[in-house]
Amino acid sequence: MTSTGLSMDVRTTAKRTVLISGASISGPALAYWLHRSGCAVTVVEKAGALRAGGYPIDIRGTATEVVRRMGILPRLRDAHIDSRRCIFLDADGSEVASLNPSAVAGGVEGQDLEVRRGDLAASLYALVRDDVEFLFGDSIDTLDQSGQGVDVTFHSGQRRTFDLVVGADGMHSHTRESLFGPEEQFHRYLGYCFAIFTMPNTFGLSREVVMWNTPGKAAALYAVGDNDEVHAFLNFHQPEPPLDALRNPDAQRDLVATVFAGAGWEVPGMVNALRDADDLFFDTAGQIRMPHWSSGRVALVGDAAYAPSFLTGQGSSLALVGAYMLANALATHRDHTAAFAAYERDVREFVAVNQALVDTGGATLFPTTAQALEQRNTRLRGLVTLPSAPARPAHSALTLPAFATMP
Ligand SMILES: Cc1cc2nc3c(=O)[nH]c(=O)nc-3n(C[C@H](O)[C@H](O)[C@H](O)COP(=O)(O)OP(=O)(O)OC[C@H]3O[C@@H](n4cnc5c(N)ncnc54)[C@H](O)[C@@H]3O)c2cc1C
């Protein structure tokens, strides 16, 4: 564990002290804005180092303004994937339609960004690593709010007290569970499971996405640039979430192999590659919907509070905007109760319209019946001549306030 040593109470300094759990997207983004507003920030991350990997993610609308204000827009533009086309295939591998990617995703060409998740996480981390204390390979065991701050016991045994704690620890947030109870109360399962991993690019693919579908099943290969590797994606309809498999990678591999047994195109090779993949990311497609995002001195941000699911393509954008708005609320209101209330009031509608995208678009890319698949394919063929779809209003449904200076 990378640590600062013995138990200490950092509240003796005049600065407001904040502990953030999770160093992916929302955690480091929040750390940046809190540091900028004069807080002393510590980030604790369960993994031993910054986690690389993950499928390419989108930064759109209001979130683009957040990264511009952080000064990393040029770096992210350099990392922009700029896919040339998105090809949809039938069960036997024959082409249904070949489209401009933004015609599918409703992105704004030249403005929206698509970057590897690891590139975004690395850019955010690089921005704050010298100003913020990072504790890798550790996590919060207990939170006690009975005193003047939050007394935290870490898994390593270290004990410290912070003014505030924020859970940025993702969809399966431990912070949320210790504050509000089991995930089931807040998790809205959307009927799909997915596996993401990298595999050798033996297909000659370059800056393109190829997606194969049968009812209830999808397999995609995503070539980012001309790399030797492609991102592989296997998504399938499953009426009930496979709870047993969620914490067991071997069970996940078995489940995927069973579901895709006998499938055509390149799927058998993908399932084989999944067996060897050391960067498997498996999860259910689901959303987190909570009546409140804070309790006392502890708040939640990003997927921990309002995961929208990959079907909306808005997870990282909500995380970036939520982090900015939470830090801005804390910079505006010295009283954390007022700050957390303002954060919820100002962000909730933005979250709601983006989570609602799942009903109007996302899931229709993955039809579960033959009839729905045929309808989707007809719709896709109709998009072939379109350079891009109109931007989705939800992506820009929040206008960022100027960042406040500490009261
Ligand atoms: C390795 C990885 C790959 C991903 N790949 C994809 C993908 O391909 N497609 C997609 O749609 N989304 C993916 N995601 C999720 C995506 O990053 C989020 O939906 C979105 O960016 C919101 O980010 P977040 O920071 O709120 O949560 P997350 O990105 O989920 O980050 C949560 C962080 O908290 C850490 N953490 C978890 N529990 C604890 C704990 N108890 N104590 C301390 N730290 C903890 C995790 O290691 C992680 O770094 C991935 C996430 C990770 C971590």
The CB of 386 under 6 Å from ligand 1? The reply is no
Q: Whose CA is nearest to atom 9 of ligand 1?
A: 55
- For ligand 1, the distance from its centroid to the CA atom of residue 23, given in whole angstroms, is 8
pLDDT in tens, the chain (407 residues): 444 333 344 444 479 999 999 999 999 999 999 999 999 999 999 999 998 877 889 999 999 999 999 999 999 999 998 888 999 999 999 999 999 877 776 666 677 899 999 999 999 999 999 999 999 999 999 999 998 899 999 999 999 999 999 999 999 999 999 999 999 999 999 999 999 999 999 999 999 999 999 999 999 999 987 778 999 999 999 999 998 888 899 999 999 999 999 999 999 999 999 999 998 999 999 999 999 999 999 999 999 999 999 999 899 999 999 999 999 999 999 999 999 999 999 999 999 999 999 876 556 789 999 999 999 999 899 887 766 666 788 898 899 999 997 65
Residue 94 dihedral angles phi and psi, to the nearest 5°: -80, 155
| Number of neighbours of residue 333 by Cβ within 10 angstroms | 17
Q: Which of 169, 196, 317 is the best mutation target for the ligand 1 pocket, counting ligand atoms within 8 Å of the beta carbon and taking the most?
A: 169
Whole-model pTM: value is: 0.92
Is the shortest distance between the CB of 231 and ligand 1 below 6 Å?
no
Closest CA to 234 of 195, 277, 198: 195
What's the CA-to-centroid distance between 335 and ligand 1, angstroms?
Answer: 29
How far apart CA 218 and CA 269 sit, in angstroms, is 14
Q: Is 189 in the pocket of ligand 1 (CB under 6 A)?
A: no
User: How many whole angstroms from 24 Cα to the centroid of ligand 1?
Assistant: 5
Verify whether ligand 1 is closer than 6 Å to residue 317 (CB atom): no
Ligand 1 site, residue 51, Cβ cutoff 6 A: yes
Residue nearest to atom 53 of ligand 1 (CA): 24
Q: Where are the domains of the chain?
A: 8-81+110-185+287-360
Nearest atom in ligand 1 to 313's CA: 11
Number of Cβ within 10 Å of residue 27's Cβ equals 32
Q: Cβ(22) to ligand 1 under 6 A?
A: yes
Give the residue, by CA position, lying nearest to ligand 1 atom 2: 54
DSSP string covering 37-70, please? TT-EEEEEESSSS------EEEE-THHHHHHHHT
Q: Which H helix or E strand runs over 109?
A: none
Decide: 310 in ligand 1 pocket, CB within 6 A: yes
Strands 150-154 and 159-162: antiparallel
Cβ 176 under 6 angstroms from ligand 1: no
Q: Provide CB contacts within 8 A for 168, sequence distance 6+.
A: 20, 21, 22, 23, 24, 26, 27, 30, 300, 301, 302, 304, 319, 323
From start to end of 186-280, where are the E strands?
A: 187-200, 208-214, 217-223, 229-237
* CATH classification code of 8-81+110-185+287-360: 3.50.50.60
